Structure 1
Amino acid sequence: MLERLQRRLGLQTIPAVFFTSAGIATVFVMLAVPFDQQVADSFGQLTGWVAHHLGWFYILSVSGLLVFLISLAISRFGSIRLGADDSRPDYSNLTWFTMLFAAGIGTILMFWGVAEPVSHLSKPPFSGVAAGSEKAASDAMTLALYHFGLHTWTIFALPGLAIGYFAYRHNLPMRISSLFYPILGDRAFDPWGWAVDIVAVLGTLFGVATSLGLGTLQLNSGLSYLFGIPSVGLVQVALITTISGIAATSVALGLDKGVRRLSQINIILAIALIAFVAVAGPSVFIAEGMVQSVGDYLHALPWLAFWTQTFSESDWQRQWTLFYWAWTISWAPYVGIFIARISRGRTIREFVAGVLLAPTTFTLIWFGVFGLSAIHVEMNGQVDLAQQVQQDPSVAIFAFLDTFPLAGLASALSVVIIVIFFTTSSDSASLVIDMLTRRDDQPSLVRQRIFWAAAQGVIAATLLLAGGLDALQNVITSLGLPFCILLVFMAVSLYRALRADYRGYSMGELVRGQALPEVEAPSDDSQENDYVPETSDRH
């Protein structure tokens, strides 16, 4: 029946994955529009249960995966390439980095770069720390770097590494289900694998919709500051519609013409904004604070990575850390596939070092400039940023920039950056969702990519109308859990495949459980593996 529907609509998909994912998203929108309060309350209760009973699982999983990736990079597996042994990267390091960043957390940094440090400064999460104190300021920067540093990029790097390895070295389809081939065998290409891909598609849809929702709130605040446009639901829906249209145009142009060019433009604009704040702001304070903040972050990281707020009744970790981890995890399928798509030819060591360190370094600079400057403004009493953040975090960056010369120009530049980050996130996700819902031997149809871009916009608008920021946080914290579980199994599957590859086993021998005698470690030019799973659905 689904195949007949596909032919009638002229689509090129895996029908079970495409129509099930689209159907679930449609049902959610149909229920959320008339029953917005009930849906918001239900997800609020579910989020409370997840945070109370499984918050520790989020914390342990992400920190454990960080250790796993670093161990892979420094191990004997680090020299294995994502592709044939003689392959080389498709993109230069600079182009690779700009695409990594723009498709990753650019929108998030624009939203929280000022809001999070100021929030922690005014409401410290640790007992015995006075609001507005030097200790509160230090902790605020440490927590911001913890939330957006190595842990965030671990969540993106693991699926990216696994997808790149299985796709380029073992010729498996570039879908999340392929990562479980060492565990599931050919069942990775039947309903078991389809179920995995459906989870990945839904996680991506809602994760990107959450980002679009936050970006819309911030964009509306910027336009309200610049032009007096009211911050109301109707305006926000109009903004989502407009930006989704821009994203659909970009996604129709494809990776190189659309995403690549927008990414390069936006990284230049972002650097220009950073330079402006660094020069016009308290430059010496920023420089001193960045050095100290990096040291504080590295010093606190070992215990902070496993901190679960066990002895406190506070709801802080649910609202911040668990929300961030779940949000980032929901992005993992699409960012992982996107990173894999642009990372062919790199060694595992290069990949891990690049994906973990390069964007994290940019994040450190971003929070060093914006976060420290905002803390300086707040502690000196120039503007009561804390009160404005508590009332509406989306307006934080514009209230902050209002303390600088050329405030209108800086705010206008911020609006442009938000729009482009908005667009690159949406069109990157649309390209990836299209890959997840079709076979590799099927063409990528523009109308399918446009459909997914529109779906993200509709879900974002629905979540905003159903409860704004609280609804966005509750939905994503709940829906991130299934893929968090998949990430753990993904690491197990990747390790099994790498060990087999290094010892000279084929993927087929690994799946069939055939024991081979220990062999001498292969040289760099002898790690070829041309096994392709024997199934007609492997595409």
Structure 2
Amino acid sequence: MKPMVAQDIVGRDFNIRVLGLNFHRVIFPVSFSIILLLVLLALSNPVVFGETLEGIKGWILKNFDWFIIIMGNLAVLFCAGLALSPLGKVRLGGRDAKPEFSTLSWFSMMFAAGMGVGLLYWGVAEPVAQYTAWWKTPLNVAASTPEAAHAAMGATMYHWGFHPWAIYLTSALVVGYFSYNKGLPLSLSSGLQPLLGRGHRGLPGQMVDVFTVVLSIFGLATSLGLGAMQATAGIAHVLGTPNTFAFQLMFIVAVTCLAGFSLWRGLDAGVKVLSNINMLLALVLFLLVAVGIGGMAFFSNTLNAAADYGQMFLPLSNWIDRPDQDWFQGWTVFYWAWWCTWGPLVGIFVARVSKGRTLRQMVGMVMLAPTVVTLLWFSAFGGGAIAQVIDGSGALAAGLSDVNMAIFQFLEMLPLAGIGSLLVVALLVFFMVTSVDSGALVIDNLSAGGDPDTQPVQRVLWLVMIALVTVTLFVIGGDTALKGIQAGAVAMGLPFMVLMLLLMIGLVKGLIEDCRS
């Protein structure tokens, strides 16, 4: 039977509806074809594929480092400027719109989707790496010195503070405003409307959404695959089970099943509940570590880390004549490009759960609040880990030999180490589930032309697609193929930043026109 073609709910284009499923007639098939092509290329020769994409990534990071850093800085200034301006009073959904979620649930969902796994993975590893010169040091500070300790905490906070959340927030503000206030699809392409008029519904806008789907799929797939390697290493360390390849695949399947159950229950009964559990477990782990390293030590670490962040903010934001060019490109520029692979995914998800909030509230909750939480987290984990290295206690004192094991090695030297390690494993699982959940929701919305109310089975189908891409690359190409895809995703950070600049212009233009009317 010929499928029925119906006009999209927002009038953007025509969607194809088959057996209750709703797919955009351009975005879905083109995205699917590109994903399939890239997976086949990755599997045909993982080594060559990985080396090629690593070469492209390296060339972009080296030759466009100035643009990437400028755009990261501009995102921070843009979001702060909106919050401080009269435009900050604009409310997503109009003046009378009410928030759908409590402030705590709103923050929990946003934080779990945007950074939960990363803080577990790098909470100990990055400060120790920066302090010991595991791979060079920020601003060429002499490694393993008191100055290096301050530089390590300042640089780590710089990488995980305002900048990444500003990149996420820029996408969220654009999508939320044009969707809830203008009745346009829940997609980045809607932000082009002030610049292109009705042209944003045509090929340019469709290609933006295709780009977003492909970027999100491979960002999620690499994070799921590489995250599984850390999680299973931790489980093996805690429980003494063998960390085999089959065990890693079983972990991916288990995460997918949990995520599928959560997606089927929906945003309110599934993702929100898991996100709240995440934050509760994270709070327990944080308190365990903060008490374990000593209250005074934690308080001192927090004050020092805040001062280090403030002191190094401008020097690390500079891109001209950097004395630490290799470190700058290998850490900061890479990070900014990597945040861009999650920028549309997290941004659209944050927009999805932020209806009823003002732009000023969004800046406070999406950029400022996570930075404060990040400061407290790294003060406990990173500051405590550097103290262990300085004191020569524990496995970390011998050097950062395995990033996957860094947080578990740190916990071994604290009271209740077994409970702490089990909490880390549980959090890795739940944070990965919520990240994949939010990603599947976003990809499903985009593939349906911006329709946020698709059937649960359709969301789960995209989740299965993410898992299949991950498992296929993992089984045939191993971490070589996964890292190759990751390099490709990072390389796509450059065009995303070009798009982000256009979206900033479009948002300001749309807001000013509204205020004048």
| TM-score, length-scaled by structure 2 | 0.92
Distance 2:229 2:452 in 1: 38
Deviates more, 1:71-80 or 1:377-386: 377-386
Q: Are 1:385 and 2:408 counterparts?
A: no
2:99 maps to a residue whose letter is: P
- What's the counterpart of residue 356 of structure 1? 367
C-alpha displacement of 1:169: 1.2
CA offsets, 1:46-72, max 9 Å, x none?
A: 111111111211111010111111111
C-alpha displacement of 1:152: 0.8
Distance 2:487 2:398 in 1: 23
C-alpha displacement of 1:342: 1.4
Change (3 A) 1:463 1:475: farther
Identify which of 482, 485, 502 aligns with 1:489: 502
Is 2:217–2:466's contact at 8 Å kept on the other side of the alignment?
yes
Is 1:40–1:466's contact at 8 Å kept on the other side of the alignment?
no
- What's the counterpart of residue 101 of structure 1? 111
2:96 maps to a residue whose letter is: D
Distance 1:174 1:8 in 2: 21
Identify which of 179, 182, 198 aligns with 2:194: 182
C-alpha displacement of 1:14: 0.3
- What's the counterpart of residue 239 of structure 2? 227
2:511 maps to a residue whose letter is: L
Is 1:102–1:266's contact at 8 Å kept on the other side of the alignment?
yes
Is 2:26–2:206's contact at 8 Å kept on the other side of the alignment?
yes
Q: CA RMSD in A?
A: 2.2
**SS of corresponding position for 2:511:** helix
5+ long unaligned stretches in structure 1:
505-539
Distance 1:268 1:491 in 2: 35
Q: Are 1:498 and 2:514 counterparts?
A: no
Q: Are 1:321 and 2:332 counterparts?
A: yes
Is 1:220–1:229's contact at 8 Å kept on the other side of the alignment?
no
Deviates more, 1:224-233 or 1:245-254: 224-233
Q: Are 1:344 and 2:355 counterparts?
A: yes
Is 2:3–2:18's contact at 8 Å kept on the other side of the alignment?
no
Deviates more, 1:411-420 or 1:338-347: 338-347
Change (3 A) 1:489 1:3: farther
Change (3 A) 1:187 1:387: farther
Is 1:323–1:473's contact at 8 Å kept on the other side of the alignment?
no
- What's the counterpart of residue 63 of structure 2? 53
C-alpha displacement of 1:326: 1.6
| TM-score, length-scaled by structure 1 | 0.88
Q: Count how many residue pairs are aligned between Structure 1 and Structure 2.
A: 502
Distance 2:152 2:485 in 1: 23
Is 1:213–1:460's contact at 8 Å kept on the other side of the alignment?
yes
2:149 maps to a residue whose letter is: A
C-alpha displacement of 1:150: 0.2
- What's the counterpart of residue 155 of structure 2? 143
Identity %: 37
- What's the counterpart of residue 450 of structure 1? 460
Distance 2:511 2:310 in 1: 30
C-alpha displacement of 1:448: 2.2
C-alpha displacement of 1:338: 1.2
Q: Are 1:257 and 2:269 counterparts?
A: yes
1:344 maps to a residue whose letter is: K
1:352 maps to a residue whose letter is: V
Distance 1:88 1:72 in 2: 21
Q: Are 1:81 and 2:94 counterparts?
A: no
Change (3 A) 1:288 1:30: same
1:406 maps to a residue whose letter is: L
C-alpha displacement of 1:228: 2.9
CA offsets, 1:73-93, max 9 Å, x none?
A: 111211111122122322222
**SS of corresponding position for 1:12:** strand
- What's the counterpart of residue 480 of structure 1? 493
5+ long unaligned stretches in structure 2:
6-14
C-alpha displacement of 1:468: 7.2
C-alpha displacement of 1:385: 1.5
1:335 maps to a residue whose letter is: V
Is 1:118–1:374's contact at 8 Å kept on the other side of the alignment?
yes
Distance 1:472 1:206 in 2: 7
- What's the counterpart of residue 534 of structure 1? none
C-alpha displacement of 1:470: 4.7
Distance 1:478 1:255 in 2: 31
Distance 2:369 2:272 in 1: 18
Q: Are 1:295 and 2:295 counterparts?
A: no
Distance 1:194 1:126 in 2: 41
Q: Are 1:90 and 2:100 counterparts?
A: yes
- What's the counterpart of residue 536 of structure 1? none
Change (3 A) 1:261 1:152: same
Distance 1:30 1:55 in 2: 30
Distance 2:239 2:268 in 1: 34
Deviates more, 1:231-240 or 1:103-112: 231-240
Deviates more, 1:477-486 or 1:113-122: 477-486
Q: How does 1:108-147 map to 2 (within 5 A)?
A: 108-123=118-133, 124-126=136-138, 129-147=141-159
C-alpha displacement of 1:466: 4.3
CA offsets, 1:7-57, max 9 Å, x none?
A: 667631102101111121112222212311111111111111111111211
Distance 1:106 1:158 in 2: 20
**SS of corresponding position for 2:439:** helix
Q: Are 1:16 and 2:26 counterparts?
A: yes
CA offsets, 1:191-236, max 9 Å, x none?
A: 2211010111111112222322332121011111023334444432
Q: Are 1:423 and 2:429 counterparts?
A: no
C-alpha displacement of 1:388: 5.5
1:246 maps to a residue whose letter is: L
Is 2:262–2:271's contact at 8 Å kept on the other side of the alignment?
yes
Identify which of 409, 426, 436 aligns with 2:419: 409
1:301 maps to a residue whose letter is: F
Change (3 A) 1:191 1:114: same
**SS of corresponding position for 2:462:** helix
Deviates more, 1:376-385 or 1:463-472: 463-472
- What's the counterpart of residue 218 of structure 1? 230
Is 1:103–1:428's contact at 8 Å kept on the other side of the alignment?
yes
